[in-house]
Structure 1
Amino acid sequence: MSSIAIRPPTEVAGHVAATIDDIFAMIDGWRAVLEHGLSQDGALAAATVDPLVESFAVPAVSGGTLLTGAGFVATPGTLRDAEWHLAWWLGGSGVERAVRRLATIDDPSHEQFRDYTGLEWWRVPAQTGSRHLTGPYVDYVCTDDYTVTITTPVMVQGAMVGVVGADALVDRLERELLPAMRSGGTPATLVNASGRVVTSTDARREPGAILRGEGLIEAVRNAGESPVMLRSGAAVLACGDTSLALVIGV
Structure 2
Amino acid sequence: MARSTGLAHPVGAAAPDPARALGPDAVARRVRDTLEDVFAAVAATRADTAALLTAAGGTGRAPVSADLAALRPGLHGRLAAQDLVSGAGFVAAPGLLADVPAWLEWWQRGPDGTVRPLLLDLDPAHSAYSDYTHWDWYALPRETGQRAVAGPYVDYLCSDEYSLTLSAPVHVGGRFVGVAAADVYLRHFEAAVLPVLQELPLPARLVNARGRVAASTDPGHLAGSLTKGPDFATVLAAPPSTHHHGALRLTPCAGTPLVLVTPER
Q: Which amino acid aligns with 1:248?
A: T
- Between the aligned partners of 1:75 and 1:29, the Cα distance in structure 2 is 19
Higher relative contact order (CA 8 A, sep 6+): 2
Greater alpha carbon shift after TM alignment, 33-42 vs 106-115: 106-115
Is 1:235 the counterpart of 2:252? The answer is no
Q: Which amino acid aligns with 1:34?
A: T
Residue matched to 2:5: none
Is 1:139 the counterpart of 2:152? The answer is no
Kindly indicate whether the alpha-carbon contact (under 8 Å) linking 1:122 and 1:151 is maintained by their aligned counterparts in 2. Answer: yes
SS in 2 for 1:22: helix
- Cα drift, residue 64 of structure 1: 6.5
SS in 1 for 2:188: helix
Map 1:57-136 onto structure 2 (within 5 A). Answer: 57-62=75-80, 65-93=83-111, 96-136=112-152
- For structure 1, the residue ranges without an aligned partner over 5 or more in a row are none
- Between the aligned partners of 1:64 and 1:6, the Cα distance in structure 2 is 29
Kindly indicate whether the alpha-carbon contact (under 8 Å) linking 1:220 and 1:238 is maintained by their aligned counterparts in 2. Answer: no
Residue matched to 2:235: 222
Kindly indicate whether the alpha-carbon contact (under 8 Å) linking 1:6 and 1:183 is maintained by their aligned counterparts in 2. Answer: yes
- Between the aligned partners of 1:220 and 1:117, the Cα distance in structure 2 is 19
2:54 to 39, 48, 53: 39
Is 1:155 the counterpart of 2:171? The answer is yes
2:200 to 141, 164, 184: 184
| Cα 1:241/1:109, change in 2 over 3 Å | same
- For structure 2, the residue ranges without an aligned partner over 5 or more in a row are 1-16
- Cα drift, residue 172 of structure 1: 0.8
Greater alpha carbon shift after TM alignment, 35-44 vs 219-228: 219-228
1:50 to 69, 74, 96: 69
Kindly indicate whether the alpha-carbon contact (under 8 Å) linking 1:7 and 1:184 is maintained by their aligned counterparts in 2. Answer: yes
Q: Which amino acid aligns with 1:92?
A: G
Q: Among all aligned residue pairs of Structure 1 and Structure 2, give the percentage whose two residues are the same amino acid.
A: 35
| Cα 1:127/1:247, change in 2 over 3 Å | closer
- Between the aligned partners of 1:146 and 1:125, the Cα distance in structure 2 is 21
Residue matched to 1:199: 215
SS in 1 for 2:257: coil
- Cα drift, residue 21 of structure 1: 2.6
Structure 1, residues 100-149: CA drift from partner, whole Å, max 9, x if none? Answer: 21110122222545211232222232233332222222211112222211
Residue matched to 1:19: 34
- Between the aligned partners of 2:79 and 2:70, the Cα distance in structure 1 is 16
- Normalised to the residue count of structure 2, the TM-score between the two structures is 0.80
Query: In angstroms, what is the RMSD of aligned CA positions?
Result: 2.5
Greater alpha carbon shift after TM alignment, 183-192 vs 169-178: 183-192
- Between the aligned partners of 2:38 and 2:160, the Cα distance in structure 1 is 22
- Normalised to the residue count of structure 1, the TM-score between the two structures is 0.84
